[in-house]
Structures are given as structure tokens and as C-alpha cells.
Amino acid sequence: MGGRDTDLVLLDENGIRCDGRKIDEPRRIMIKAGVLKNADGSAYIEFGDNKILAGVFGPRDVHPKHIADTDTGILRCRYHMSPFSVTERKSPAPSRREIEISKVLKEALQPAVMLEQFPRTVVDVFLEVLQADGGSRCAALDAASVALADAGIPMRDMVSSIAAGKVADTIILDVNNEEDQAGQADMPVGYMPNLEKITLVQLDGILTQDEYKKCLETAIGGCKLVYEIQKKALTDKFFSNGESA
Amino acid sequence: MSESIIFPGDRIASVEEYEAGHNTFDDGNDVRATVVGTVEIDKKERIIHVKHSSVISIPKVGDIVIGKVTAVFGTMIAVSIDYINGKPKSSHVECICSTRNLRKKRIALVNDIVCVRIISHLNGAIHATIKEPQFGVLFTKCVKCGRKVIQIRDAVKCTECSWIDERKLSSDFGTNYFVKLSEK
């Protein structure tokens, strides 16, 4: 991060980005809920070229038992990139980055999930990245939130997530892989749209105070767009084909 | 129809208008939904509920559960839940069942299949009762030789070694619930 030298024109004079998007335009997002039969809740997301599956199990008995909390349930999150998710084979063993993202996603989901209703139990969230293209943690968070809602786990709000960033001294919405590699800053944001609370902010890069504020506002605006798509996915799952809640 | 669909976090009403019922919570100002579903308003009691199709695997108070005994203590047994109201569940959460006032030496043994009713969620544990006639052991084996047993009044007798042993037997012992479990 910080503007690596590249021949790629990240932002042209007309304000068009390297993949043809405008500065405030997210990539194509498609979410489908209830895709895994054996999971209590599941979702599949295509976020640009990211393809991610989310599976939720629980609340269920905790193993090993000594990690059970008598006052509240616990949330476990496993973010994993498939060996074929990137151009060169990735080792299936959990990397430092995957362990970090698992922790970050857990902490981003925790404020939304009402775990206190299920003491001594665990909710497991498995996130499998089938294809990665920059911004996979945000896409994974969106899918996890839909999968949790699909499982019927009580939540204070949905968590919607998208990244904003800085490319060619301009704040942009939804940073893709090229912009992530060669841009000046990348800021993934998780947001609860109804409660208007932020559950995740990370920043890789350097921004001024004004840029930071604008970047956050841009990301929150993007989260609201993602939220509408999440709602549509859940509506299609629960209320299409004559099925009702 | 589409107007009544709500999502987790959606505001349904003000706390001054209605109380939060099933699948809702109040955040101090508003009653909000916790699941995807449709709103049901009890105007008489002024409570809002949200109806949702999928049920999570934690039993509610009043549910009848069937499970396997995982531990036997002096005055209680722990039961790993397999069925809630006749529906199979894979969560295997445990409930505890007091056996204090039952005048039997052996209420149930580890690995017996029992039927109990949930009475409370207290201090992070799910409490159940086994006292009513329909609750108790649905399936057990001989403690001596591990063979099949038959019911003799309030006790069981081994068909092989004729050992007679005490259990708190359910009125459904060896009948319908057991058949369902044996098909599992």
C-alpha cells in the first residue's frame, strides 16, 4: 500500500477506474441464501470476481467443552482460502492472514449476534473463498451476515460491509485487487445500517483527517447499497415460491 | 405481503406503543426484529412478535425433548438433546434434570434414552423435569450384561440374565418414541 509504481492507469482523467467503474460505483454483487443443505444457514456471494461460500452451524454444543461460556454463547469464525482461489496454488493450511481475517470477521459479527440468548453454546461461521479478487473480507462478512440471518440466529442488525480507498489522490468505493495492490489506501468497513453503528474499520495506507472522513462516509454509503442486496437475497429465500416465514 | 417482511434490526414500533415479544428486542427506544420474518401484533396485550420459519436447535420452556443421558450425578442427570418436540436436532446441547424427589435408586443410566420436558433456562443451563408419568426412560439395557430388558411394573428385567433393576420409566417405554429413535 502507499502507491506502488505501476503502468496501470488506476483512474483516468474522466474519473473512470481501471475496470471501467466510476469512483462511487461498487462491483456487481450477487447474494444467494440457503445454498448448503447440511448447514443451519448458508449464503453464496459473488462480489465482483470474489466468490465466497458461507456456512453457519449452531447454536450447538461446544467442543472442546472447556471453552464454553456459562454466561453467553461464543462465536467462532473460520475464513479460509481454497488452494485454487488465487492464480498460484495457496497452501490449504491456515496462513497468518487467514487467522487474522477470521479474528477480524468474528469481532465484526459479534456486536450483531445476540449470543447472550444461548449460554454454553457455539455458533460456527465457516467462510470458504472459492475465488479471490481483493475485498474478500468484506464480501465474506456480507455472506456471513446473510447466512446467520438464514439460520434464524437472533441478530440486532445485519452487518453490511464494503471497502473504500484512495487511488490517484481520489477517494473511491469498493477497492478491487489492482487498486488494493497499487492504490494509496484501503479501508474495509463493516456497518449495521439500522442501528447506524460501525463494527469494523481497518485502514491500510495513509489518509488525512478529511480524507479519512470522506472515505468512511463513502464506505457507509456503499454498505447501505450492499444491505439492499442482502435483504433481496433473504426475501428470495424466505418469501419466494409461496414459502412464508 | 412484501410490506410486512422485516429483517434483523428493522424498527417495528416504539417502546411506548408495544412491548417486544418473540424474535424482537427493544433497544431502549424502539422495538426491533431479530430475525427475518413477518410481524404479528397482539393488540390486546400490546406485544409484537415476529414469525419466522426456521427454528434454532435450542429448546424453549415447555418443549418435550428426547435425548441420551450423558452423565448421572447424585441428584441430577445430564441429557444430550436429540429431538425437540419430535423433530431431530443435531446441536446436541445438554439439559440437566433434577432427580432429587424421585424415590428411586436408579433414575437412569448413562446412554439411556430419556424423554423430559424443559422447565426453565436458568444460570446458563437448561433445566428439565422427568417427574410426570410420560417422562422418563424410553430405552435402556441391562446394567449387568447389556442385553435387552422388558418392563415389569416400575422396574426392568433382563431377558437374558433376569437381573431386575430400577428406572424411572416413561409411559411410552418401548413404544412410539423409541421406534423413532431406533430408526435414526
Report which of residues B43 and A5 the model is more confident about: B43
Select from A41, A119, A192 the Cβ nearest to the Cβ of B9.
Answer: A192
Contact B2 A112 (CB under 8 A): no
**Binary contact (B23, A151; C-beta < 8 A):** no
Domain ranges of chain A: 29-239
Q: What is the pLDDT of residue B1?
A: 39
Average pLDDT over residues B5-10: 94
* Domain A29-239 belongs in CATH node 3.30.230.70: yes
**Tens of pLDDT, residues B101-120:** 888 888 899 999 999 999 99
The answer to whether the Cβ–Cβ distance between A40 and B57 falls below 8 Å is yes
Q: What is the pLDDT of residues A184-239, one digit of tens each?
A: 999 999 999 999 999 999 999 999 999 999 999 999 999 999 999 999 999 999 98
Domains in chain B, please, with CATH? 2-51 (2.40.50.100), 64-182 (2.40.50.140)
Ranges of beta strands (E only) in chain B are: 5-6, 11-14, 19-20, 24-26, 30-33, 37-42, 47-51, 64-72, 76-84, 87-88, 94-98, 113-122, 125-129, 136-139, 149-152, 155-158, 164-166
Share of chain B above pLDDT 90, in %: 53
In tens, the pLDDT along A82-98 reads 999 999 999 999 999 99
List chain B residues with CB under 8 Å of A123. Answer: none
Nearest CB to B52 within list A58, A152, A231: A152
Of B2, B27, B52, the CB nearest to A245: B52
Give the three cell numbers for residue A141. Answer: 462478512
Q: For B38-95, how does the pLDDT look when each residue is reduced to its tens digit (9 = 90+)?
A: 999 999 999 999 998 777 888 989 999 999 999 999 899 999 999 998 888 888 899 9
Average pLDDT of chain B to the nearest whole number: 88
Who contacts A219 (Cβ-Cβ below 8 Å, separation ≥6)? Answer: A162, A163, A164, A173, A187, A188, A189, A191
* Interchain contact, A194 vs B23, CB within 8 Å: no
A241-245, B83-87, B89-93, B160-164: lowest mean pLDDT where? A241-245
Q: Is the pLDDT of residue A32 over 80?
A: yes
